[in-house]
Chains A and B, each alone.
Chain A
Amino acid sequence: MSLLTWKSWLGGAAMLLASSAGLSAEPALVYSVGGKFDGSFNEAAYRGAERFAAETGESYRDFEIARDAESLQALRNFARRGADPVVAIGFNQASAVSGAAADFPDANFAIVDMVVDAPNVRSVVFREHEGAYIAGLLAAMASKTGTIGFVGGMDIPIIRRFLCGYREGAASVSGDVRVIFNMAGDTPAAFADPARGAELARSQIARGADVIIQAAGGTGIGVLQAVADAGKLGIGTDSNQNGLHPGHMLTSIRKRIDTAVYANFMDARAGAWTPGVQELGLKEGGMDWVLDADNRALVTSAMEAAARAAEAGIAQGRLSVHDTMRDGECPL
């Protein structure tokens, strides 16, 4: 191919790229490495964006990164095309967001699950341990054996904090409740290994656990399956997973990433988008637990009352759940 045709060929590609830049002010979403349909974390973000699209009839752009190095590129690409705001999901995109925010001071960015200190970034973080506390409380009350289980994904601080809240919630019911906990592994595969999740759940059941929570993304699907197969109770996380095994799901602890994404998009649409840190817990509705037709029969009125009381206590600040990130090692 001669140089001239080569150039026009590439020029055509550039044109193609430029033409897709037409629509400005479209909001954009960059998922974390797990992928859009991971069944929990990214999917919640996707649902929030879809809700925005359904309610407003407007479109949005999204992108799934395959590795962290792509994050900065994707954020810059969206910012360059005038997307507003550009929402990044997951703590691993923090450095990319701060880089892109510095390069595009006029664009608006948001990051979920991490704080990035910049004048054009909104950081949304969740107090997951508060939700975990409610889960621990309910699990301890529902358990007949006095032993409850926890299957985490990768052994990283965010999961440890969740575990600590769960143990505290269980201990609030009775000091005698035993919590068995396992992490699925040390690689991101630990969040995508249902077979291993099922294995860990079965071993916990064999050691007497009759209520098991999963905090392991895709691995957790296996946990809940094994728990349902054994006729025990499971607790879901991030999304409402009660419908997976009706009758075998005590509850689901939701982390409202969908609301965070939706709120970002809607605020920008209304011209009311502001930067800064948003910390969402039970009080703000950023964390909640699900009571629906699928688990109504499993949650007794005593359990519901205790959970609601704890919820109110945490929301009003009378009850403080240990935050391993802020307060150090778990006291239990």
Chain B
Amino acid sequence: MMAGQMPRWADYILMPAINVAAAFFVSGLVVLAIGENPFDAVRILVWGAFGWNEGIGFTLFYATNFIFTGLAVAVAFHASLFNIGGEGQAYVGGLGVALACLALDRFVPWWVTMPLAVAGAAAFGAAWAYIPAVLQAKRGSHVVITTIMFNFIAASLMVYLLVNVMAKEGSMQPETRTFEDGGRLPLLDTILPGVDFGSAPANLSFVIALLACLFTWVLIWRTRLGYEIRTFGANQTAAVYAGISPVRITIVTMLISGGLAGMMAVNEIMGSQHRLLIEFVSGYGFVGIAVALMGRSHPLGIVFAAILFGMLYQGGAELAFEMPAITRDMIVVIQALVILFAGALEHMFRPTLIKLFGILSAPASRAA
């Protein structure tokens, strides 16, 4: 261990835990300020997310979305690209899922549709990231600007398609027809024996999300491309000197990132809603940024961060339900505090902690 550093476990587990604890402490003060008991609030939050079958199912369902969008942001981070277009890439990814499902659901079982839907989601999501990627690589237009603009273009495109082209006849709601069984992923509790998630839509996508984590880990740390991505992210000049093409890495990384974001739609569209509808992404793409930050851009960290945010979503809904004084806006405040402490104030506790570890390890190193 070098001076001024912490052991890895402290960096990956202790730091996030302290940040979350601090966020919950401040949230507790807010709850107290509006006249509710913060301990009851935490109790309901945790119980709502993990205390009953349906709650666990919903937590996993939300977590699945966050894993995909979190991975998308993380992969781009490794090349020091800031892809904040996950929202739009997932939205357009939904189009890929829906086209596969609408074409096949009446003729084949779900396991034939699934690979095509996943491929469609990834391809459409990647395609949506391609133009910002090329603009960044060849023209130097910053992806932060272009990807966020592409979120709006995605929204316009999808509304146009859903209102004018794909909507079912005579419906007020801009959405496609509902998929038949061939376009629906099985729920997790129908696959796993002895598990019952009630009406929660946790589905096979959770497994796909875990596979995507494994894929990301292998890609970033065990392949040549991953090495190039990390090198490019660490020092672009050195990467170019080493013969790594910045254009190629920028584009390929953004394609992978967009593909992962697009795959979020598999969970929502094929796993839960069973139809393509407007605004199904509803912020998951943006929360993915917080998930990636909190998970230290490592797939394992992202899984935990995604489950934490899944807990906040699901437990938060229960909390708003049980304590009418705590409105859904309060839940957003709590989520925002977690993001604030885990993301923006990430370095608040770090120097103290590093000093602490320095003191603890000092006698040991002297002895050696």
* Chain A contacts to B: CB under 8 angstroms: 9-10, 12-14, 16-17, 20, 35, 61-70, 72-74, 76-77, 91-92, 94-95, 99, 103, 113-114, 154-158, 160, 185-188, 325-326
Contacts and interface: CB of A to CB of B under 8 A. Distances in A.
Given A10-B47, A12-B43, A155 B320 contact: no
B328 A13 contact: no
A77 B314 CA distance: 13
B361 interface: no
A149 to B, nearest CB: 22
Contacts of B165: none
Interface of B: 40, 43-44, 46-47, 51-52, 54, 58, 61-62, 152, 155-156, 158-160, 163, 167, 170-174, 199, 201, 272-273, 278-280, 282-283, 317, 320-322, 324, 327-329, 331-332
B79 to A, nearest CB: 29
Given A91-B173, A114-B173, A157-B172, A74 B321 contact: yes
Contacts of B273: 95
B159 A155 contact: yes
A157 B159 CA distance: 10
A188 B283 CA distance: 12
Contacts of A14: 47, 51-52
Most buried by B among A185, A186, A326: A186
Contacts of B199: 72-73, 76, 99, 103
Contacts of B322: 16-17, 20
A160 B162 CA distance: 14
Contacts of B155: 185-187
Nearest to B268: A69
B321 A63 contact: yes
23 contacts: A10-B43, A10-B46, A12-B43, A13-B46, A14-B52, A16-B44, A35-B329, A64-B328, A67-B283, A69-B61, A70-B317, A74-B321, A99-B199, A114-B172, A154-B159, A156-B163, A156-B172, A157-B171, A157-B172, A186-B159, A187-B152, A188-B279, A326-B170
B159 A113 contact: no
Contacts of A10: 43, 46-47, 51
A17 B46 CA distance: 13
Contacts of A160: 163
Nearest to A31: B328
A187 B47 contact: no
Contact of B332 (A61, A66, A99, A188): A66
Contacts of B321: 63, 74, 77
B278 A156 contact: yes
At the interface, is chain B mostly helix, strand, loop or mixed? Answer: helix
B51 A66 contact: no
A74 B174 CA distance: 23
At the interface, is chain A mostly helix, strand, loop or mixed? Answer: helix
A8 to B, nearest CB: 11
A13 B158 CA distance: 42
B172 A91 contact: yes
A157 B167 contact: yes
Contacts of A155: 159, 163
Contacts of B328: 35, 64-66
A13 B282 contact: no
A77 B329 CA distance: 20
Contact of B279 (A9, A62, A187): A187
B50 to A, nearest CB: 8
Most buried by B among A13, A14, A20, A63: A13
A160 B172 CA distance: 10
B159 A156 contact: yes
Contacts of B61: 69
Nearest to A99: B199
Nearest to A161: B172
A66 B47 contact: no
B43 A13 contact: yes
Nearest to B37: A16
Most buried by A among B61, B173, B278, B322: B173
A70 B58 CA distance: 10
A67 B93 CA distance: 19
A326 B170 CA distance: 6
Contact of B174 (A67, A156, A185, A326): A156
A100 B155 CA distance: 29
A99 B54 CA distance: 15
Given A17-B322, A70-B317, 19 more contacts: A10-B51, A12-B43, A13-B46, A13-B47, A14-B52, A17-B44, A62-B324, A63-B320, A64-B320, A65-B317, A66-B331, A74-B321, A76-B199, A113-B172, A156-B172, A156-B278, A186-B152, A186-B155, A186-B160
Contacts of A186: 152, 155-156, 158-160
B152 A157 contact: no
Nearest to A155: B159
A9 B172 contact: no
Nearest to B327: A64
A222 B144 CA distance: 30
A16 B37 CA distance: 12
Contact of B173 (A61, A62, A92): A92
A186 B171 CA distance: 18
B255 to A, nearest CB: 25
Contact of A94 (B163, B173, B332): B173
B333 to A, nearest CB: 12
Contacts of B46: 10, 13
Contact of B272 (A69, A92, A188): A69
Nearest to B317: A70
A99 B274 CA distance: 13
B235 to A, nearest CB: 38
Contacts of B173: 91-92, 94, 114, 157
Contacts of A185: 155
A20 B323 CA distance: 10
A159 to B, nearest CB: 10
Contacts of A77: 321
A64 B283 CA distance: 17
Nearest to A64: B328
